Structure 1
């Protein structure tokens, strides 16, 4: 049984911060060659519309489509996918969709207002975006769960139209992705992908309508394109590699912990799996579980490289220090695999999603718990939140001055405006002041 060389860190060591910085270092979207390629694609799709979109789609996905009309999927085809997948798969998608919908219903924000003593009304009007674009990876790397996690909160928010783009390289269609689109009531599905699909959503073409926001994961070309079109449209985030940090008190089955670490490591070689524990003997037990179970994985090579290059076991003096380390890392997924997770929860400041207790596997959150699996990565949980209904709603301020309110507020505005040498501002407010 070969040993997997996972980095061993001690949070009490004098050079721990330096070691941790090295562990967490990850180069985001910064490849100049990729950026140049993406810029060219964006410019051509913006200026040439469907012509460039079809050309790049045929080139990169090795298709022979003669028109964009061939790539627009009829609603009947999405419904057909529901009958092509197994009954077990359909039921799983339907259960997951309903749980995701029900959870996100709690996030809906409503308009509000209040009336001041002089009759002035102040408030906020909450409205949904009109149209959003959902990017879904295609081919073998297909994720029907991403369809549900991105489309359901948009639908709950009241978005008028959800446009989904999904590449079909070599004509390969994932029936579960189409079925998920049917269950989530996606309005339009177009089989294009890559930077060209992002460009089409951002700028609009003859076939692809311009959207207000683009959400969903993709490769480095998609991520680079999303970053480039930000400002023309909104985006959800620039996602880095998937991450898990497990805080354990040393009393959970070590096989469970090993498999939880694998659940992120198998995503790709850049994924990061970290275990933080005050029990050195338990860390050794988990190492044994890793060595024994890793060869049983279908994606062993990917998980092994991830664990070797970016994984770590961190020894801490107690659970309080474990939470300090977790807050420093701000992980995408945080498992509190301890006896009393509720006691630790108030100390957790930064985490995308928090999985409480020994029985709550992070994988449950990926698919069917209900909360969104689109989460901040690479430490951005310090200032970002999971994707939700609020990401598809906008807020407009409401101000309705009564005559008395306009007079009193006009006096204040006049002083401040003249202090900024903005005469027209001041005089506009002064016109409403009562003598």
Structure 2
């Protein structure tokens, strides 16, 4: 923290002796993390939020699983819209082939109970049961969920058994939509942090190219980031040949950090980088001059680098809500089974811009719509992009006839996905890890 940490000059004085196993559940990982978190800068952004909400530690085993596309739990991602009573907990999306999908859980479901405990239970035993059921720490835990589907009031109950080997599909959907004479490619990308994303992205762009799309909508609403090289590849594949040799991102570090990536400039990648496709393969390119990005407060880091990196060269139209604001990144350092992610660099685009710690505001403000599946042309955010493509303007304010739907959509406004800090990242490769 006193060498490569971006804000090393602002590290507070902390007594390491105060961080004991006894005070942290007799867990080495929890003790190390508590001390690590105490060392972070206390600086704030213009809006008052902490500058460094992002540095974290995790077990190296968990890191390796995450990067290989393996996660644990039930296979659905949720958001707590309201933590005060009455609590509202809804499902944002479900991993393909996961226990949750096999049990019939779907986007927009409201969780009403967990193992018979009402979601609004305030007793200590009830809260413990809710936490244990919603976030299982072991495999093969069967939990009974009470659910209510979007736009209905009828409860249903499903049993879901947890797993520690759920496969993550970074590209959740790639499809072609014909709308108003336009051929629109729609890409749902949940993560840049899984190596299989490279092949899946290439396959999706190839699909769009073969279909002759003239517009593309990239859905990054729940994408917390990942590898910068993969974000770079996607940016190149969206744009045209004029990006060749141009700067995608420059990484700036503190004044004494001599890690190899510091103060380096990355041009747009024209070939694959060897994640899940052989290195050096020519990437397909759509040749577009504008792109639509669907964003929320859960759009972080490497995701933000895509539209920041492209904006000097083409029109990038953001639909949705303000992104999370993370121009910072790191390379993992491993030591004795713990992986450390201290923010080590700030990313700048070709114009030298990287001051977006409070996020990128949308060009068109549209709430996330949990009443419809992603890919449904009537889903509010996708519909907003399609409307802009047809009319050249943001969608109109909803009419009185739409009031009921809109009130339901705006109940949470921007649904913050519940995930670990390790999923909101901007990662570079190539630095030797300490074992």
Bin for the TM-score computed over the shorter chain: under 0.3
- TM-score calculated relative to the size of structure 2: 0.26
Larger radius of gyration: 1
Q: Where is the helix percentage greater, Structure 1 or Structure 2?
A: 1
- TM-score calculated relative to the size of structure 1: 0.26
